[in-house]
Amino acid sequence: MRFSVLGGGRWGCALSLHLCRLGHELMVFDKSHKVVELINSGRHPYMEGLSIPCARASTELREVLDFSDYLVIALPVQAIRSVLEGQSLKGKRLISASKGLEVGTNRRVSEIVKELEPQAEVFCLSGPSFASEVSKGLPTALVLAGENLDELERIRSLISSENFRVYLSTDLIGVELGGALKNVIAIACGMSDGLGFGENARASLMTRGLAEMVRVGLLLGAKRETFYGLSGMGDLFLTASSSQSRNRSFGYLIGQGFSVEEALQRLGQTVEGVHTVKAVYELSKNKGIHAPISWAVYSVVVEGLPPREVALELLRRPPQNPFETV
């Protein structure tokens, strides 16, 4: 089968390596001539010692789109509209592997694609998955979501392996939101760690953060149970607790006293939660959703308030309900 991967970053290359191992023909789109040259020479741009022997790469998007049976989106969410706008996507099958919400429109990736081409078919692949581990072929489990169950089964048969387990869901909204919202909570957990608040605080933030994700998701049309699966709880626990996580690492640097600009410069990578928190803040305010952890992250990342001051204010808030509840 022919796959095209849109995005030659770490995640795009990790998925390319995986698809190559399964024997699929592959073409990768990236605007960077350096990345394209590395892939075309058989070398992995980010992982030493790993190669992508079956992949070709191009800076020409039309060539990449025409090549494939399935398009895998592994681009930063804020770039997706500008990359795909004006392209012929009618009848195309796209698998989004990008996690986040578009700033300004607050759209999920599937909504962006459908807005550009209503006749495209969109699926979402999400879950706890660091690119470095997928690149090495280490065991990973993800969830694939969409509305067409027959096509979901077909895609799963094409991308699954012993070390790449794929579960199915028809809750596209919930799976997309789980992958987006957990990045904001992960930033909060990183800030807590950077401030030296300890593991008790992080566990509390993760737990109450999950409740916040459920609360937001339900009011946006998602199913509650989705957030207790791989794309919600699973991805949150990984992203909020590991030093490999760029969102958690970003939050940690903020907690250590670095500015937003300094933290982003040190990481040198896209931090989706920085953008997503703006969309979550706007959505929650417009729809009257109680999201105090997301608001706290917004007040630090966007409004520039001191993280310790914001964290202490969050701690002073009385529980919304005398019983633990979402």
Query: Residues 179, 99: contact at Cβ < 8 Å?
Result: yes
DSSP secondary structure letter of residue 103: T
Alpha-carbon torsion angle 29, 34, 35, 37, nearest 10: 80
Active-site hit among 114, 182, 223, 278: 182
Nearest to 182 by CA among 245, 252, 254: 245
Task: Calculate the CA dihedral of residues 185, 101, 231, 24 and round it to 10 degrees.
Answer: -140
Rounded to 10°, the helix 272-287/292-301 angle is 130
Helix (H, G, I), strand (E, B) or coil at 275: helix
Q: What are phi and psi of 273, to 5 degrees?
A: -60, -30
Q: Is 23 left (phi over 0), alpha (psi -120 to 50) or beta?
A: left
Is 278 catalytic? The answer is no
User: Catalytic residues, which ones?
Assistant: 182
